[in-house]
């Protein structure tokens, strides 16, 4: 019998700054209901799904930004999501801003903030947590930019690595090797490979990607922004013999456009479902997990073909260095 599961990408249209969880959660509930009606067992929501993409807004005092974060899951505002997950027997990826109050040995409370995603089981239990490692942007207000991207201000670098867990998914309880990335992580092959080395079968990832390059360092065409996103996801899936569900928050948030193009990708690197709007939209695909075996046992048989002794620079070095210079002998 084939190991086929039905997965859904639950793309969200824009969430305006003034819109709270009371506006967003009912939209997410409609997507969960439609996912259930279409036979989905796994549903993936975007990065920071419960609010606008708030790192575009500067707060000098970090405490003023606390309302963008969740201090517990579920909370009164997110409990309806957990109720629906239980009702429909779904496995769900949820991206959110996490605020942790850590108490040190002296009893001093320190606030820690992460860009986080969790996998929620059909029982409502948290199966796995991931905290975003590759934080783009900057920590201080950047006056040369038209739009701020303050992820380095609002989040610490994730401290949980890139974990993979084998867990039963959906009401049928098919066991699947599950892993997560968040947005910018998808552009880093190192992140995918760490998941691949744990035999991941399904990588879930949410993103908020501006339709225009906002760094003011040169022009980047709109269509290339989408191409680069898809290239990274398709190659990540192919090179690690896994399925990927990549889900956007899309559309104009307070005048700033995020692109959509949520996709579901198979282990051959093919896009098997693609969102066509910049709004709330559900795309669904059947994923036969046996397809992961082909890559894993042939071209990407890691045990047989990887050469870690030649990869030292990958973990020893962060920035690139100039190469040795060759000069002609005469």
Residues serving a catalytic function are 47, 132, 183
H or E stretch at 87:
helix 79-88
Q: Which is nearer to ligand CDV, 28 or 258 (CB)?
A: 258
**Residue 152 within binding range of ligand CDV, rule CB under 6 A:** no
Q: Which stretch binds ligand CDV (CB under 6 A): 203-211, 242-250, 273-281, 317-325?
A: 203-211
Burial annotation 198-224 (CB, 10 A radius, 16+ → b, else e): ebbbbbbbbbbbbbeebbeeeeeeeee
**Residue 94 and residue 27: Cα distance in Å, rounded?**
14
| Total residues in contact with ligand CDV, by rule CB under 6 A | 9
- 238, 269 contact by CB (below 8 A): yes
Work out whether 149 is an interface residue with ligand CDV (CB under 6 A). Answer: yes
How many angstroms separate the Cα of 169 from the Cα of each of 84, 135, 165? Answer: 15, 29, 11
- Residue 249 makes contact with ligand CDV by CB under 6 A: no
Query: Rounded to whole angstroms, how far apart are CA atoms 260 and 61?
Result: 32
Report the site for ligand CDV in 121-140 (rule: CB under 6 A). Answer: 136
Task: Please state the closest distance from residue 49 (CB atom) to ligand CDV, in A.
Answer: 12
Q: What percent of the residues of the chain are helix, what percent strand, and what percent coil, each to the nearest 5?
A: 30, 30, 45
Does the footprint of ligand CDV cover residue 78 (CB under 6 A)?
no
Q: Is 209 in the site for ligand CDV (CB under 6 A)?
A: yes
| CB atoms inside a 10 Å sphere around CB 319 | 4
Decide whether 91 or 148 has the Cβ nearer to ligand CDV. Answer: 148
For the segment 162-191, give every residue that binds ligand CDV (CB under 6 A): 183-184, 187
Of 154-162, 206-214, 290-298, 314-322, the segment contacting ligand CDV by CB under 6 A is 206-214
The minimum distance between CB 208 and ligand CDV, in angstroms, equals 4
Separation of alpha carbons 229 and 188, rounded Å: 11
In this structure, how many other beta carbons lie within 10 angstroms of the beta carbon of residue 86? Answer: 14
Site for ligand CDV (CB under 6 A): which residue of 208, 240, 262, 266?
208
For 226, the 3-state DSSP assignment is: helix
Q: Enumerate binding residues for ligand CDV (CB under 6 A).
A: 47, 136, 149, 183-184, 187, 207-209
């Amino acid at each position: 019998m084939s190991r086929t599961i039905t997965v859904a990408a639950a793309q969200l249209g824009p969430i305006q700054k003034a819109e709270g969880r009371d506006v967003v959660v009912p939209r997410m509930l409609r997507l969960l209901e439609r996912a259930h009606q279409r036979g989905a067992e796994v549903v993936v929501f975007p990065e920071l799904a419960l609010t606008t993409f708030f790192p575009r807004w500067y707060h000098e005092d970090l405490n003023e930004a606390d309302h963008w974060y969740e201090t517990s899951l579920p909370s009164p505002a997110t409990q309806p999501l957990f109720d629906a997950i239980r009702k429909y027997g779904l496995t769900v990826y949820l991206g959110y801003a996490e605020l942790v109050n850590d108490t040190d040995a002296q009893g001093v409370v320190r606030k820690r903030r992460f860009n986080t995603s969790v996998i929620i089981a059909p029982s409502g239990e948290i199966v796995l947590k991931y905290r975003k490692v590759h934080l783009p942007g900057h920590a201080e207000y950047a006056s040369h930019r038209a739009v701020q991207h303050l992820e380095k201000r609002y989040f610490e670098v994730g401290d949980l690595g890139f974990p993979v867990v084998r867990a039963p998914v959906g009401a049928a309880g098919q066991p699947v090797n599950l892993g997560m990335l968040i947005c910018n992580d998808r552009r880093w092959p190192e992140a995918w490979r760490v998941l691949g080395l744990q035999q991941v079968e399904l990588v879930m990832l949410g993103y908020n990607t501006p339709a225009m390059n906002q760094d003011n360092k040169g022009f980047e065409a709109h269509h290339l922004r989408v191409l680069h996103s898809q290239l990274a996801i398709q190659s990540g899936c192919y090179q690690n013999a896994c399925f990927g569900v990549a889900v956007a928050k899309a559309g104009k948030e307070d005048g700033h456009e995020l692109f959509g193009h949520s996709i579901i990708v198979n282990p051959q690197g093919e896009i098997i479902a693609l969102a066509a709007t910049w709004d709330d939209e559900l795309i669904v695909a059947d994923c036969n997990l046996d397809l992961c075996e082909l890559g894993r046992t042939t071209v990407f048989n890691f045990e047989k073909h990887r050469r870690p002794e030649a990869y030292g620079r990958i973990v020893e070095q962060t920035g690139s260095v100039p190469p040795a210079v060759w000069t002609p002998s005469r």
